[in-house]
């Protein structure tokens, strides 16, 4: 589904960026979403929030033991 008509940005593209951990500002710079007429902003933010910081693709936690090869 096209979310941003001005820049032809799909929900899929927004989800893909959100899963990579992009902030909404970064998304705007990368895709141009919500940077022209702004009518898509609330929908774009909703899609971004569904997949964004609340559900990161991966979280890596390395302890000192892991870094030193003792884990």
Q: Which residues are near ligand FES by CB under 6 A?
A: 4-7, 33-40
Reduced to 3 states (helix: H, G, I; strand: E, B; else coil), residue 23 is coil
Q: Find the farthest-apart pair of alpha carbons in the chain and give their distance in angstroms, rounded.
A: 54
Choice between 23 and 55, CB closer to ligand FES: 23
CB of 36 to ligand FES, least distance (A): 4
Closest CA to 33 of 8, 15, 16: 8
CB of 52 to ligand FES, least distance (A): 18
Closest CA to 14 of 58, 24, 5: 24
Choice between 34 and 51, CB closer to ligand FES: 34
CB of 34 to ligand FES, least distance (A): 5
**In the block, residue with structure tokens 């970064």:** 26
Choice between 12 and 39, CB closer to ligand FES: 39
């Amino acid at each position: 589904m096209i979310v941003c008509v001005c820049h032809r940005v799909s929900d899929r593209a927004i989800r893909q960026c959100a899963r990579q951990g992009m902030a909404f500002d970064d998304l705007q710079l990368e895709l141009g979403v919500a940077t022209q007429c702004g009518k898509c902003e609330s929908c774009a933010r909703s899609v971004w929030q569904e997949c964004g910081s609340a559900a990161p693709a991966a979280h890596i936690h390395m302890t000192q033991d892991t870094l030193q090869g003792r884990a």
